[in-house]
A and B are shown apart, each in its own frame.
Chain A
Amino acid sequence: MNVDAGYLKKIAVVSIVLGSTYLAIGIMEIASMFTQYGIFLISADIIGGFVSITIGLTYLFGIRGLLRGNKRDLGFPLAASILAALYFSIYSLILLADAAECYILKNEDYSGWTPMHSLRIEILIGAIAIIIAVEIWRRIKKDMFFKKIS
């Protein structure tokens, strides 16, 4: 499939879904700082919330252009997905680091720690974002990068 209007619309729909999800996660992460109720997989994390909102907004900023068929606005879902992939990696590494503290170093601060304590929703959604980033990257490289001089 080429990078045509149909493809751009599909990416726009994915951007709406992922953008709204990240935005909601970000708001919940910040809100959790001020409430005593924890939400499953959502950390009380003000800066983490700011990051999720930034990722969400980056997805959403590209929607209008994509729906109008502007190929250059593929940069928005691409950049958002790269950022989401970056945080997928960071949060996954933190999970591994916490596991090392608990199981290898036997750090007292980590007694009773389970992987669920460090598992964040951004790790799960980030995996989807990586697929989106790879897909857009491949498509751009294949169909959009250069036009042969005829």
Chain B
Amino acid sequence: MKEIVVAVIGNPNVGKSTLFNELTGAKQYIGNWPGVTVEKKEGEKIFGDYKIRFVDLPGTYGLGASSIDERIARDYIVFEKPDVIVNIVDASNLDRNLYLTLELIETGARVVIALNMMDIAESKGINIDVDALSKELGVPIVPTIATKGVGIDELCSVIIKVAEGKIRYRPPKVKYPDTIEKAIMEISGLLSRITKDINTRWLAIKLLMQDKGIVEYIEGIEGGEEIVSVARSYVEKIRSELGEDPLFVIAEARYGVISEMMQRVVSRAYVEAVDISDLLDRVLTHKILGLPIFFAILWSVFLFTFNVAAPIVDGIDLLFGWMGEIIGSWDINPLLKSFLVDGVISGFGSVLVFVPNIFFLFLAMAILEDVGYMSRVAFNLDRIMRKFGLHGKSVIPMVLGFGCNIPGIMSARTIESEEDRLTTILVNPLIPCSARLPVLIMIASIFFGRYAPLAVFSMYVLGIFLALFMAILIRKIILRGVVSPFVMELPPYRLPSTKTVTIHMWNRGSKFLKKAGYIIFSATVIIWALAALPPGVEFGGPESYASILGRLIEPILRPLGYNWQIAVALFFGFIAKEVFIDVLGMLMGEDHEAQLGAMLSPAQAYGLMVFVVVYVPCLASLATIKSETGSWKWTIFVCLYELILAFILAFAFTGLVGLII
């Protein structure tokens, strides 16, 4: 079977994820782009005699290198050279999307356009002459409606024809002003002597646009430095002749081509009177109502995650209890029985019980994302973020942090300013991730009864507040500077696609399951061994290694009212936060919840929740902070400030809640 590699690229919010999911279904592999920690998604589709491997590139408006996402997309297209590039274009927003298309065509790549959201364009009375547009651009175009799976097979069939060379390309050449054309010709001629693999006209344009990544690439080739210096002299010449930077002249010429093209291929049957997204945005981004509505929606997510998932959680809990009883009655080796009952069932099982909560949380977040509400959250919070010294783009890492801090920290890479990016990374671990959710739910359920969702919700509000508070401190004391401006696009609202939502939920939820399988189970084995050894001691008894370790840490935590078992749980929670429950389950046995209830007062329990939210990030988050900041200094800084903050806040909240209750 022949294989075709297809890169999928498009502006943000053009339905790229939906189309990618439609093309690949559940056959997706998630990894990282080489050298960086940005998520790389790949999927496959068998179509006829071909295996088509789709590579999902980050959403981008152009092939510049102002952010890591843009650089990844550009480098993949230019240097990796996939067989075909599928450029997803929003039919209802054609002019804005065609800028990227023109850039792609200029690279000389074999482009197929998926003209997506045709239904929305039609409902807005936008008529696109697809054949005429295809002739203008010189590339094949397939109209699609990703949310309904329309045009998918046709798209695959065109991809194969393009890969087989059965479709001829006649791409247009954007005509730039004469001064620029002359410069392009000369630089292109020089470039053709040192590089054969990449379209030299496109490289020349990029050199004139002073694209940092391309300048560095050319300088790295023998003889490249001279060409870069020629390009620089042309840049100066163009500036003096045209009175403008070549970057703007080139962009203007491209928009001119698009504008003329639009007049020839697009007609409008209606004048838009009211857009339903505009109507809703008047309210959802309202300066007074926007935030209360956001909190109301966030609360609904909590009720869904906590209360609606409760019977499934309790059902799994009953199942593990039953399994514990069955295995407990087996006549097998006592050490093996102890491992199965005390380790696997009581420890590992107590973490797995919360899997439904995790999936419900991810389901709710996937729906909000697919509807288009998450962009409004960023918009609403941007005004506040700015006051706290955070960049508007920091909202997305913070929102992602609710799921897992690792992608949250990684996604800060889209922020251009180093100070803004560092601040976002340093405060991200304060956002309670889904791993902390089971711990919070367990403690809140034991101590706060029907107010448990409120207690958990308050931890999320505290986490957001602390992140903002620390951001302002960091920006005022350590990383001084002005917050860079932020332009944001609000996509139209749309009904969520079941397939996209399900795939999103599964991709994220399965990460938790994998983590449970590897990290938490490994931690279970270690902690079980510490509790069961040296041989002959009572499991988790005062002579066990676990107890010895716990008693070493206990004095530090004693002022907060935590005993050695909690100390060990917090210590191992550093590996992965859910391990906290795992450890308590093992050290206190199946009735660990009852024991914990007797051990702490509600005020101390609330303080413990605060401690769990704030104290050191998990091991994987710390590794990510190290790789993203490239500095041990910042990694240690995060550990230290969080640990100090956790002590102060847990102490303060224990006292405060003690006064109220």
Interface residues of chain A, those whose CB is within 8 Å of chain B, are 46-47, 50-51, 54-55, 57-58, 61-62, 71-76, 78-80, 82-83, 86-87, 90, 93-94, 97, 100-101, 104-105, 107, 137, 140-141, 144-149
Taking CB atoms, residues of chain B closer than 8 Å to A58 are 283, 289, 293
> A78-B280, A105-B315 are known contacts. Are A83 and B274 too (CB-CB below 8 A)?
no
Find the A residue at minimum CB distance from B293. Answer: A54
Q: Is B286 an interface residue (CB 8 A)?
A: yes
CB distance A107 to B314 under 8 Å? yes
Taking CB atoms, residues of chain A closer than 8 Å to B660 are none
Taking CB atoms, residues of chain A closer than 8 Å to B282 are 72-73, 75-76
Taking CB atoms, residues of chain A closer than 8 Å to B310 are 97, 101
CB distance A76 to B303 under 8 Å? no
Q: How far is the CA of A100 from the CA of B318 in the complex (A)?
A: 14
Which of A55, A79, A104, A144 lies in contact with B284, CB distance below 8 A?
Answer: A79
Question: Top 4 nearest A-B pairs by Cβ distance?
Answer: A75-B279, A146-B270, A79-B283, A100-B311
CB distance A61 to B289 under 8 Å? yes
Q: Is B295 an interface residue (CB 8 A)?
A: yes
Min Cβ gap B591→A in Å is 14
CB distance B300 to A86 under 8 Å? yes
Min Cβ gap A99→B in Å is 9
- Which B448-497 residues have C-beta < 8 A from chain A? 453-454, 457
15 contacts between A and B (CB under 8 A): A47-B299, A50-B296, A54-B293, A61-B286, A71-B274, A72-B274, A75-B283, A78-B279, A83-B297, A97-B307, A97-B309, A97-B311, A105-B318, A141-B276, A145-B275
Taking CB atoms, residues of chain A closer than 8 Å to B318 are 105
Which of B273, B284, B454 lies in contact with A146, CB distance below 8 A?
Answer: B273
- Looking at chain B's contact residues, the main secondary structure is helix
CB distance A50 to B279 under 8 Å? no
CB distance A140 to B284 under 8 Å? no
Which of A51, A71, A101 lies in contact with B311, CB distance below 8 A?
Answer: A101
Q: How far is the CA of A137 from the CA of B280 in the complex (A)?
A: 11
Min Cβ gap A106→B in Å is 9
CB distance B269 to A93 under 8 Å? no
Q: How many residues of B contact A (CB 8 A)?
A: 42
- Looking at chain A's contact residues, the main secondary structure is helix
Q: Is B271 an interface residue (CB 8 A)?
A: yes
Taking CB atoms, residues of chain B closer than 8 Å to A73 are 282
Q: Is B3 an interface residue (CB 8 A)?
A: no
> A94-B303, A147-B271 are known contacts. Are A57 and B311 too (CB-CB below 8 A)?
no
Find the A residue at minimum CB distance from B276. Answer: A140
Taking CB atoms, residues of chain A closer than 8 Å to B274 are 71-72, 140, 144-145
Interface residues of chain B, those whose CB is within 8 Å of chain A, are 123-125, 268-276, 278-284, 286, 288-289, 292-293, 295-297, 299-300, 303-304, 307-311, 314-315, 318, 453-454, 457
Q: How far is the CA of A75 from the CA of B303 in the complex (A)?
A: 26
Find the B residue at minimum CB distance from A149. Answer: B271
Known contacts A145-B273, A145-B274, then 16 further A-B pairs from the complex at CB < 8 Å, ordered by chain A residue = A50-B292, A57-B292, A72-B278, A75-B280, A76-B283, A79-B283, A79-B293, A80-B283, A86-B297, A105-B311, A105-B314, A137-B276, A146-B271, A147-B271, A148-B125, A149-B268
Which of A74, A76, A93, A148 lies in contact with B304, CB distance below 8 A?
Answer: A93
Which of B269, B296, B311, B453 lies in contact with A54, CB distance below 8 A?
Answer: B296
Give how many A-B residue pairs fall within 8 Å (CB-CB). 113
Q: How far is the CA of A79 from the CA of B493 in the complex (A)?
A: 12
CB distance B276 to A145 under 8 Å? yes
Find the B residue at minimum CB distance from A46. Answer: B454
CB distance B270 to A148 under 8 Å? yes
Q: How far is the CA of A90 from the CA of B314 in the complex (A)?
A: 19
Q: How far is the CA of A75 from the CA of B289 in the complex (A)?
A: 12
Which of A47, A61, A80, A97 lies in contact with B308, CB distance below 8 A?
Answer: A97
Which of A54, A82, A90, A146 lies in contact with B289, CB distance below 8 A?
Answer: A54
Which of A47, A87, A137, A145 lies in contact with B457, CB distance below 8 A?
Answer: A47
Q: How far is the CA of A62 from the CA of B307 in the complex (A)?
A: 32
Most A Cβ at <10 Å: residue of B268, B271, B288, B293? B293
Min Cβ gap A75→B in Å is 4
CB distance B311 to A104 under 8 Å? yes
Taking CB atoms, residues of chain A closer than 8 Å to B454 are 46-47
Taking CB atoms, residues of chain B closer than 8 Å to A57 are 289, 292
Taking CB atoms, residues of chain A closer than 8 Å to B314 are 101, 105, 107
CB distance B270 to A94 under 8 Å? no
CB distance A94 to B293 under 8 Å? no
Taking CB atoms, residues of chain B closer than 8 Å to A50 are 292, 295-296, 299
Q: How far is the CA of A104 from the CA of B314 in the complex (A)?
A: 11
